[in-house]
Chains A and B, each alone.
Chain A
């Protein structure tokens, strides 16, 4: 279980101080599929980066399976079983997709296992195994490989930062299928930051973050109806800002 206690993240100082995350407390139970949503600039990505350890909080605590991990590095948190999929996955010249998946798994992966991960994110594995994870891949391809790297790890908590951002509609449908399979199968905790109704539909728990605070949280059945009317014509969440 992941527990955030009064977590804060401020930038700047004095009069120009800005509260990005403001005293957030929440719990992500084991085995849950949680979607965090909310307006742009509300602090969702920062919250994910704080959990992974990429940013250091200015106040509060993060507990993972009862251990205080607030002071731990990204590497140490990764070793405890936390994984993070970037909104914009970095590219690596010379690293093949197969090598990247093996690095994620922590040991050289047999070909059929790599193929399995790629297939489950909708990529034809034979075409991709030996391709380099460089800028020759489209945004959608890179994004799906990024998700496959999390599948290749044995994670207690997998965090996906806006998996839908920057990808085409077709890739998005494939992605929804991957997450659907993930939510239906047995899994450890999954935390997805998303604006997309189709991803929210998969959640068993939802958290709405706005202005650095938890504006709402609960089961999908409770939260989802309250968000209706906040979607635009493309099923994207626009939020109502400060209320």
Chain B
């Protein structure tokens, strides 16, 4: 059963208000609340550990899978394993995400271990939002692990967003791409207060014509700390671009360590990284539209993280 807190969390992480269309599985406080398979998409509860297998039939087109997780119980800690098997030529949207409402003083933690097996020519768009709220002093912790294995000519677009309320996060992403496969990762992160966020990424481009684009945009406020460490490894004739861009404010700390490795003379890999405060001219420009300094700051940050 869903209450008001649950619906609020679901809206924040998955933009859904009621039961979503298509295949879904909603996990609440360590248990599957409800789920539905469709003709082409089967969702099976794992028997040996917490989590689900999501099996998308070859050739499935324009279908969506929602797998939100909500935690409203203080002190709940879980590790959940979700395995996605995307058949050849399929084209699907997967909306994941985790929302924690912690009113208590104990730590609430969700570690989602996601592995993707993406078939030949398949297309996947994956959106993951992390959000925390609640007045309690208990920490809200999310440590996602994402492993992506892409077959020939598949495309995977991942959007990973953490905008508010998560006290500590360590994100670990690994991907391996076969010939002609394409991976786009967009990471957007805002930390505030005493929050800590670390993101490690290792993208291996193993086949000829593989390509990848990693875009990380972040804003660090107050005393928060962020560390980014993406590594693009070219093992074949391939292209990759890594871009880390951060706005730093107050007493925050941001460390950006993009790495590129070429194990093949035909690999073309580029990285860019920049950290800087909001420029004064940007603020003044928006103030000449009649905004206050705080409003101008808000517009700049929300545009940057869009």
Contacts and interface: CB of A to CB of B under 8 A. Distances in A.
Interface of A: 52, 54, 73-75, 78-79, 82-84, 86, 88-95, 99, 103-104, 106, 149, 153
Interface string B273-306: 0000001011011111111110000011001111
B245 interface: yes
Contact of A95 (B287, B288, B293, B299): B299
Nearest to B188: A94
Contact of A75 (B217, B287, B305, B306): B287
A75 to B, nearest CB: 5
Nearest to B304: A94
Given A86-B281, A90-B281, A93-B304, A103 B286 contact: yes
Nearest to A152: B289
Interface size class of B (residues with CB under 8 A): 20 to 34
A92 B300 contact: yes
Given A92-B303, A93-B303, A86 B285 contact: yes
Contact of B290 (A79, A91, A149): A79
B281 A95 contact: no
Nearest to B305: A94
Contacts of B299: 95, 103
28 contacts: A73-B287, A74-B284, A74-B287, A74-B288, A75-B287, A75-B291, A78-B287, A78-B290, A78-B291, A83-B288, A86-B281, A89-B285, A90-B279, A90-B281, A90-B282, A90-B285, A91-B282, A93-B217, A93-B303, A93-B304, A94-B304, A94-B305, A95-B299, A95-B300, A103-B289, A103-B299, A106-B289, A149-B289
A5 to B, nearest CB: 23
A93 B290 contact: no
Contacts of A83: 288
Most B CB contacts (10 A, CB to CB) among A84, A90, A106, A149 go to A90
Contacts of A75: 287, 290-293
